[in-house]
Amino acid sequence: MKIVAGVDEVGRGSLMGPVYAAAVILNKSIKKKLLKDSKSLSKTKREIISTYVKKNSVWAIGQASVKEIEKINILNASLLAMKRAIKKLKKKPKLVLIDGNKSPDLKNYKFKTIIKGDQKIPCISAASIIAKVARDKMVSSLGKKFKNYHWDKNYGYGTKQHLKAIKKLGITTHHRKTFSPISKKT
């Protein structure tokens, strides 16, 4: 049987923190009906499904830092995070299915990009869930140190509450200085 990995990234639109990607090779026994786009699941369901997928799959997470995002831009940083996740997999897939229309530059791998793949392909949905849960936990943890930015609720995205905090308190070392509206202030 051909080993297929699904890959997705999260955090591209956030104003802070690294971008995360996950790569997942599902075991045959996994209940695929549970796997949906991470954005369509509640936080609790995502966490339960993430744990289930991790126990029943080969998976890996990659990330690209704020410095990398600022240096090479968010698209290239997302592809870098994907590349890192794929390379960390304990098994080498014969085919890598990527959510979106771009794939990382990685020799000796066969890629297929799928627009809205996280809504259509179970292994990409699984990657979406694992990446989102991992990034959300990291951002929530950082949020304990930076309470006034409410990262435990907005996960660094440009909500009214977050933008108001930036205006009042300024930016942290975790903010992406090349992202608007932050880039207009620096």
pLDDT tens-digit readout, 119-169: 999 999 999 999 999 999 999 999 999 999 999 999 999 999 999 999 999
pLDDT tens-digit readout, 106-123: 999 999 999 999 999 999
Q: Which pLDDT score, from 0 to 100, does residue 2 have?
A: 85
Report yes or no: 31 and 122 within 8 Å, Cβ to Cβ: no
pTM: 0.94
Q: Within 13 A of 133's CA, how many CA atoms are on the CB side?
A: 25
Chain mean pLDDT for the chain: 94
Stretch 34-47: mean pLDDT, rounded?
90
Residue 13, SS3 per DSSP: coil
The Cα–Cα gap between 172 and 70 comes to 14
